[in-house]
Amino acid sequence: MSEKRSENLDFNSINFVWFIWKWKWVILVVVFVSALAAAIFSGPRFITPMFKSVVVLFPTATNSISKTLMDDMPGNKEDIMAFGEETESEQMLQILNSSEIRDKIIERFDLMNHYKIKPKTRFAVTELNREYSSNITFKRTEFKAVEIKVMDRSADTAMLIANAISEYLDTIKNAIQKQRAMEGLAIVEAEYRQMEQDISDAEDSLTKLREKGVHDYETQAEMINQQLAIELAKRNTVGIKALNDKLDTLAKYGGAYVSIRDALEHEKKNFSELRRSYKKAKMDAEAFVPQKFVVDKAYKAEKKSYPVRWLIVAVSVFASFLLAIITLIILENISGYKMARETRASETQA
């Protein structure tokens, strides 16, 4: 049984080779015409050549420069040189896909004219956005980096757009963060100025009390009482009166002095912490820091990336070869079927 199958297989293989040889000129003509047509229609007159430029970025791990540089807590301090993780990559992709970056690129490079879209047509903006999305793409790589890919008929424009998007990423992310940082700064600054004024008022009050003779309530009271005991022992009336006057002054203003002094000491401790918070908020609001690490900057492509003419020709040749064989087999089967019918009809008549 296996021998019959082998013979049948050999017979079919021989038949197929014979069939190819029989129709070799037809197949060669079809393949040649297909290759020629593919080479012609994949040329620049029919398909616009596109050049590719790519920028590869890593997001930073930190968003707050003050937390990185000014936080003394060992557990809270972050490394300014650390690369971001998956969350930061997703945030970066969201910003790259934002309408703000798209609108900036469209305006800067006049993409409406560059893509040859008529501004007065009904769906001009929709068509422009579609062209932008098809030619400019963003994706996360397997290593958690972000890739900006720009395809354009001009190699220079593709390079410039890719690098411009990378630059706008810093501008827009910093602007988003600064908006919130400025609101935080306004709150902290208002509290800072108020506490600064309160401390100044308290120090003015202490100055006035010192002018009245209250310099250090506890020390003065102890020294005056010791001296009063001495003067009482000496029966020095003048000295006793002078010391009693000082004690009256301390009794009158001492309570206010102690209260203001203790409150001022507490305020100064709080003010020191608030001043640190104010400096951190000011740094976050005013500093401009890069939000990415550029791994690969875009460069001008030396050759086009699309279309790949040899691939188009190869696929066309294979497809035409396969189609030609299938067509010829069908035609031969139809011809054989007709001949068989005619033979059977003639035999029946005979």
Answer whether residue 275 is part of any domain. yes
**Could you tell me the pLDDT band of residue 150, with boundaries at 50, 70 and 90?**
very high
Same domain, 147 and 213: no
Answer whether residue 334 is part of any domain. no
Highest mean pLDDT among 210-214, 224-228, 305-309: 210-214
Q: Which residues contact 66 (CB under 8 A, 6 or more apart)?
A: 279, 280, 281, 283, 284, 287
Same domain, 56 and 140: yes
Answer whether residue 40 is part of any domain. no
Same domain, 258 and 212: yes
Answer whether residue 121 is part of any domain. yes
Q: What pLDDT is stored for residue 163 in this prediction? A: 93
Q: What pLDDT is stored for residue 10 in this prediction? A: 44
pLDDT in tens, 24-38: 888 888 888 888 887
Same domain, 121 and 254: no
Q: How many other CB atoms are there within 10 angstroms of residue 113's CB atom?
A: 10
Averaged pLDDT for residues 201-207: 84
**Rounded (10°) CA dihedral 340, 341, 343, 349:** 160
Averaged pLDDT for residues 71-80: 55
Answer whether residue 57 is part of any domain. yes
Q: What percent of the chain has pLDDT over 90?
A: 17
Averaged pLDDT for residues 207-217: 77
pLDDT in tens, 261-278: 888 888 888 888 888 888
Q: How many structural domains compose the chain? A: 2
More confident residue, 73 or 262: 262
**Could you tell me the pLDDT band of residue 104, with boundaries at 50, 70 and 90?**
very high
Q: Which of 65-69, 134-138, 200-204 has the weakest average pLDDT?
A: 65-69
Whether this prediction's pTM lies above 0.85 is answered by no
Closest CA to 136 of 160, 116, 118, 119: 160
Secondary structure (DSSP) of 280-327:
HHHHHHH-----EEEEE-----SS--B--HHHHHHHHHHHHHHHHHHH
More confident residue, 3 or 128: 128
Averaged pLDDT for residues 47-67: 79
Q: What is the CATH number of the domain that holds 145?
A: 3.30.1890
pLDDT in tens, 295-317: 888 888 878 766 666 777 788 88
Same domain, 66 and 143: yes
pLDDT in tens, 165-188: 999 998 888 888 788 888 888 888
Averaged pLDDT for residues 193-205: 87
Domain containing 239 equals 192-286
CB 267 within 8 A of CB 202: yes
Same domain, 123 and 213: no
Same domain, 104 and 160: yes
Query: Residue 146's beta-bridge partner residues?
Result: 57, 140
Same domain, 263 and 127: no
Answer whether residue 201 is part of any domain. yes
Averaged pLDDT for residues 32-55: 79
Same domain, 180 and 58: yes
Answer whether residue 19 is part of any domain. no
Q: What percent of the chain has pLDDT over 70?
A: 81
Q: What pLDDT is stored for residue 78 in this prediction? A: 58
Answer whether residue 149 is part of any domain. yes
